Homo-oligomer: A and B are copies of this chain.
Amino acid sequence: MADAKLPSGGPVDAALIEDLVAASRILAQHGVLDAWGHVSMRHPSNPQRYLMSRARAPALVTIQDIMEFDLDSNPVDQRDRRLFLERFIHGGAYKARPDVNAVVHSHSLTVVPFSVTEQPLRAISSVASFLACGCSVFDFHGVSRTKGLLVTNNEQGAALAKVLGDKPVALLRGHGNLVVAPDIPRVVHRALYTEINAKQLATALSFGKPIKYIEPEEMLDPQRLGDSWDVWKHDAMGGN
């Protein structure tokens, strides 16, 4: 599938690549990404391309590891680099959602329990109000199932994107989640606060009393995420 002649979307501003690397390290540092999760961003000049690290633990990703892919998740210039098996999650999301410019796939600790029961994951904290509309659970219905519940081809990636619909988060049964956003700081915010809200909801559920969720009309998509991005990047990259 990989085609040596697949054209690149063109050069990308080094500061944007650095933010993609920072996103990977931030989410590793906060325990949202384990050794196998990944972050990507849509190519800023060509919406038919996206950028993602070669297969590597997120905490170790550097600028040199970032590669370019088309939306079928073929690498533009693979050379001898190993690719993430599940990159089709990213390609599928970019293809189905023109509004999406950043994608995270994680095995986030407290997201998994919600993916294996009928207990819905919904927002109880205003910082996670993006979850007020709820999130669906993907389980390979209508497509072939890969062992280990991995998403390893475009058919599965498209099926997952369909379950995601127009929402910011979908769960993968017994596996983790898919988080999408219009930009990198926002996808980091959403991936982190999906986990935090899941922890808080698990505690609230343990009280055994009715829960007052955030209603969709109470949702606010934060307009300025610079404050959180500054401190997260500072901690993950060791400087301002």
In the bound complex, residues from chain B placing their C-beta under 8 Å from that of A15 are none
Distance in angstroms between the alpha carbons of A124 and B109 in the assembled complex: 11
How many copies of the shown chain assemble into the complex?
4
Minimum distance in angstroms from A35 CB to a CB of chain B: 3
In the bound complex, residues from chain B placing their C-beta under 8 Å from that of A98 are none
Distance in angstroms between the alpha carbons of A199 and B124 in the assembled complex: 17
In the bound complex, residues from chain B placing their C-beta under 8 Å from that of A212 are 116-117, 173-174
Are A174 and B125 also in contact (CB < 8 A) when A36-B228, A57-B231, A227-B35 are?
A: yes
A19 at the interface (CB under 8 A from B): no
Contact B145 A218 (CB under 8 A): yes
Contact A210 B57 (CB under 8 A): no
Contact A124 B113 (CB under 8 A): yes
Are A231 and B116 also in contact (CB < 8 A) when A199-B109, A202-B206 are?
A: no
Question: Digit string of A32-55 for contact with B (CB within 8 Å is 1, else 0)?
Answer: 001110000000000000000001
SS class, residues of chain A in contact with chain B: loop
Contact A148 B219 (CB under 8 A): yes
Contact B227 A113 (CB under 8 A): no
A234 at the interface (CB under 8 A from B): yes
In the bound complex, residues from chain B placing their C-beta under 8 Å from that of A220 are 146-150
In the bound complex, residues from chain B placing their C-beta under 8 Å from that of A110 are 200, 203
A89 at the interface (CB under 8 A from B): no
A-B contact pairs, 19 of them (CB 8 A): A35-B232, A36-B127, A36-B227, A56-B227, A59-B231, A60-B230, A60-B231, A107-B127, A109-B199, A110-B203, A112-B204, A113-B201, A116-B204, A117-B210, A123-B174, A125-B175, A149-B214, A150-B220, A206-B206
Rank and list the top 3 A-B pairs by shortest CB-CB distance, nearest first: A148-B220, A57-B231, A35-B228
